[in-house]
């Protein structure tokens, strides 16, 4: 079996980011682990998995556009990844590549850290991709009533049927779909574009908590408008922090130093371009 020194972990994305590198590297240093972390930008999912096998990478974070295509190239899926239908973490267990999904856990922890307990909430999840599926899964598992909104009805219904949710129409219908406690935006709209958002303004009202899963920019247009209308807001990087902590634990078998990772994330955000 291929191995490396230091033990190599990393991530694959269409556009590599700095935050995962910052958080994992800081955590490795804090615990004195001989590990390193590299962010890769690539479009070739199969090639990335082949490289992971050939080079003996211990762990790999997975994001757009690979979350739903990578499963076909792995040896097995953990129950959460199988139920969600998307993978955001791959662990190399002695040459056997197992796909996990810890996005859902990161999202639920991001809600709970601001005092938002999902049980009993009326939640609207906008999107039908890997991130939306993971968050909807986590909310259902935590006892929320979840409605899915997506422009493509077939994809929306597929998510709803798979995860025991309700498909309620396109994003424009969130505002008139019934009681709302939590609005989750989980589409690529607004990613690296602070001036765009879906037509969700009608749902932004006092008492609604708004979570935008888009990690960059930190302050999306949706979050700005939500705050201006009296909503509580949660930035996507909070989910990124908590899912990174879960990944760290899968890779190392050690408890994640969350405070260290949070500070590394804050430092990375404060840097130019963060």
Query: How many Å apart are CA 226 and CA 170, to the nearest integer?
Result: 19
The confidence score (pLDDT) of residue 36 equals 98
For residue 162, the surrounding DSSP H or E stretch is helix 153-163
Q: Which helix (H) or strand (E) holds 160?
A: helix 153-163
Provide mean pLDDT across the span 253-257. 98
- The pLDDT, as a whole number, for residue 2 is 79
- Annotation marks residue 67 as catalytic: yes
Dig out the tokens for 253 from the structure: 């078998």
CATH of 105-236, one of 3.40.50.720, 3.30.70.260, 1.20.120.140, 2.40.50.140: 3.40.50.720
Q: What is the pLDDT of residues 32-81, one digit of tens each?
A: 999 999 999 999 999 999 999 999 999 999 998 999 999 999 999 999 99
pLDDT for the residue 146 = 98
3-state secondary structure 131-171: HHHHHHHHHHHCCCEEEEECCCHHHHHHHHHHHCCEEEECH
CA distance 38 to 51: 13
**Percentages of the chain per state (helix, strand, coil), in multiples of 5:** 40, 20, 40
Pairing mode of beta strands 89-93, 96-100: antiparallel
CA 144 to CA 260: how far, in whole Å? 31
Cut 0.85: pTM above it: yes
Residue 80 has a pLDDT of: 96
Domains 7-102+238-270 and 105-236 are alike in CATH topology: yes
CB 49 within 8 A of CB 62: no
Which of 24, 58, 66, 67 is catalytic? The answer is 67
Which tokens is 37 given? 């972390």
pLDDT single digits (tens) 180-202: 999 999 999 988 788 899 999 99
Single out the residue of 193, 195, 270 nearest to residue 19, CA to CA: 270
Domain ranges of the chain: 7-102+238-270, 105-236
Q: What are phi and psi of 121, to 5 degrees?
A: -75, 150
pLDDT of residue 253: 98
- Confidence band of 273 (pLDDT split at 50, 70, 90): low
pLDDT, mean of residues 227-241: 96
Residue owning tokens 């899926």: 77
What CATH architecture is 7-102+238-270?
3-Layer(aba) Sandwich (3.40)
Report the pLDDT value the prediction gives residue 274, as an integer from 0 to 100.
59
> What radius of gyration, in Å, describes the C-alpha atoms of the chain?
18
Q: What average pLDDT score do residues 225-252 get?
A: 97
Q: What is the C-alpha separation between 77 and 61, in angstroms, rounded?
A: 14
- The whole-number average pLDDT for the span 210-231 is 94
Average pLDDT over residues 109-122: 97
Question: How many residues are present in the chain?
Answer: 274
pLDDT number for residue 260? 98
Partners of 235 in the β-ladder: 212
Q: Is the dihedral of CA 36, 39, 44, 46 positive or negative?
A: positive
């Amino acid at each position: 079996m291929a191995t490396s020194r230091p033990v190599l972990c990393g991530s694959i994305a269409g556009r590599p980011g700095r935050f995962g590198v910052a958080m994992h590297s800081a955590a490795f240093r804090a615990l004195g682990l001989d590990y390193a972390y590299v962010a890769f930008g690539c479009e070739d999912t199969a090639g990335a998995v082949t490289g992971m096998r050939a080079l003996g990478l211990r762990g790999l974070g997975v994001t757009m556009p690979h979350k739903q295509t990578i499963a076909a190239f792995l040896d097995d899926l953990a129950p959460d990844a199988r139920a969600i239908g998307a993978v955001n973490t791959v662990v190399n267990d002695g040459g056997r590549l197992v796909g996990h999904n810890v996005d859902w856990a990161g999202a639920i922890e991001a809600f709970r850290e601001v005092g938002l307990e999902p049980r009993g909430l009326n939640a609207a999840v906008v999107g039908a991709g890997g991130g939306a599926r993971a968050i909807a899964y986590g909310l259902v598992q935590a006892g929320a009533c979840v409605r899915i909104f997506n422009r493509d009805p077939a994809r929306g219904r597929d998510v709803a049927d798979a995860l025991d949710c309700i498909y309620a129409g396109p994003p424009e219908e969130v505002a008139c779909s019934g009681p709302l406690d939590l609005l989750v935006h989980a589409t690529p709209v607004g990613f690296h574009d602070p001036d765009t958002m879906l037509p969700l303004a009608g749902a932004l009202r006092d008492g609604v908590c708004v979570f935008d899963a888009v990690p960059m920019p930190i302050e999306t247009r949706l979050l700005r408008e939500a705050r201006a209308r009296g909503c509580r807001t949660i930035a996507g990087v909070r989910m990124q922090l908590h899912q990174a902590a879960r990944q760290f634990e899968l890779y190392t078998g050690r408890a994640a130093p969350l405070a260290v990772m949070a500070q590394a994330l804050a430092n990375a955000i404060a840097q130019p371009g963060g």
